[in-house]
Amino acid sequence: MMILKNFKKILFENIGIRQTIFKNTFWLIFAEIFSRFLEFVLIIYITRILGVFEFGKFTFVLAFVSMFAILSDFGLSDITTREISGDKETEKEYPAVLSLKVILSIGTFVLIMLASFFVTNDPLIRLIIGILAIFILFNYFFFIIYAFLRARQKMEYEAGAKIIRSLIMFVIVFFVLFKAPSVKNISYGYLFANSLALILVLLFFHFQIQSLKLSLRINIWKKFFRISWPLGLAAIFGAIFVNIDSVIMGYLGQLISNGWYNAARKIIAIIIIPTTLIFLSFFPVLSKLFKESKEKFQKVWNYYMALMIILAAPLTTGGLILAPQIINFIYGSGFNPSILVFQILIFMAGISFIYNPYVSILIVSGQQKKYLWVHLIGALTNITLNLILIPRYSLYGAAISAVITYIILIFLTIEFSRRFTFILPFNWQLFKILIIVVLSSTIMAAIISQLLIYNINILCLIIIGILIYFFILFLFYKVFQRFGFLSNRRYIDYFE
């Protein structure tokens, strides 16, 4: 009985900073792994059953819709979390934020349908655009609910909502996929599943968390827009950066190449899941500490960055080496062109791990305008590179464009963080951790590259690589501590 009581206290209550971060991270990781796994299985079967061409069409429509759908959020979710985390009274303004979300969603849908006439003359593709537009907009409506839960640091409820949504999506879309496989029918399946999940989540939120109300208060809308517009524009530029390559390939009729390209990108999206999860877990705590203690803020951010460095290196090196095995295992030999795309994009994944902690500094410290400039430059760079490289090199040009853009983004965020915030964006302690991580990942890569090991089952190989990496990392860490190259104080002590 005592064990169950302690278990409940650790995973369902907010006791202290360290325990709250652990609890939130646990639930977010559990929900994301569960939901992303089901969604990824769906994508694999959609790809295999529809074929490369139809999958390329499906991803083209999704990319086009997603490029506009970010307008329905416009930075409201992150700002809502930040404002409610810092001031309990701000919760009273939530109904007005919810109303603004509804209005933005309707306006965005109208804009998407108008824009669809400029990218295709095919009435079927326009119909699919309309279906998936509603699906994506419902997806973004979940975010404003999650924003409130994150502010209260109740990520267990967010995790439950994500799991329920994924289960419903998996069952319904899988049924459609095997009974009537087509891009149109699958789109309807996604829409119906998302609608049902959203209704259930809204009912739970209304009766268990906070009564849902709408409030047309223009003064509050103006207040949130004044704060969120830099983030909103930055998100728009980010959406352009993420989706413009698929849109350009689809517009140029390179639907097969688009299918190969997005097959690799779907795996990359799975690999970078930890960046979002860890960001969401640290964001409320960093928002709180920014107003309370600069010293604690710096120490918690150091822990955040150290964690990202530890994760980034093995994922990048391991992904580069294991790319052929990963692509063939998931999609089959018909997707061999995706291998090189994956090997290029894995560098973007590694950079994104290091990039996110710097993004958190700019947002938490109120430097949204600097964040906006970063994304504006990134979007313009990416559009220019894609327009030059895709007509010549197709999917490989798109992958190279993405990596170059991310390199520019991380240099800009580091410089802005250094110049416009009090944070020390890098220090000697983090540099020593970087050395340990690079050495550990290099040794891991050398071991798993050996022929006798490399040819075993890919799932076993990944597990072996993880075990080798963390074992070597532990040994190096102890050696560095023993000779005084690393502080004996644990990073975890910063949360006490």
pLDDT tens, position by position, 46-62? 888 888 888 888 888 88
pLDDT digits (tens, 9 = 90+) for 161-219: 889 999 998 999 989 988 888 888 999 999 999 999 999 988 988 887 777 777 787 77
Residue 494 has pLDDT above 60, yes or no: no
Let me know the angle formed at the C-alpha of 394 by 389 and 398, rounded to the nearest 5 degrees: 60
Among 247-251, 284-288, 381-385, 456-460, name the most confident range: 381-385
Kindly report the pTM of this predicted structure: 0.76
The mean pLDDT of 370-397, rounded to a whole number, is: 88
The mean pLDDT of 470-495, rounded to a whole number, is: 67
- How far apart CA 247 and CA 119 sit, in angstroms, is 9
404 vs 23, higher pLDDT? 404
Residue 248 has pLDDT above 80, yes or no: yes
The CA–CA distances, whole Å, from 292 to 25, 227, 363, 393, 423 equal: 22, 21, 16, 51, 14
The mean pLDDT of 121-130, rounded to a whole number, is: 87
Domain chopping of the chain, boundaries: 28-216, 274-496
pLDDT of residue 341: 92
pLDDT of residue 399: 93
Confidence of residue 493 (pLDDT cuts 50, 70, 90): very low
| Contact between 76 and 263 (Cβ < 8 Å) | no
Contacts of 118 (CB under 8 A, 6+ apart): none
- How far apart CA 136 and CA 112 sit, in angstroms, is 11
The mean pLDDT of 132-145, rounded to a whole number, is: 88
Confidence of residue 387 (pLDDT cuts 50, 70, 90): very high
Q: State what percent of residues in the chain have pLDDT above 90.
A: 16
| Contact between 50 and 58 (Cβ < 8 Å) | yes
- How far apart CA 83 and CA 142 sit, in angstroms, is 18
Confidence of residue 407 (pLDDT cuts 50, 70, 90): very high
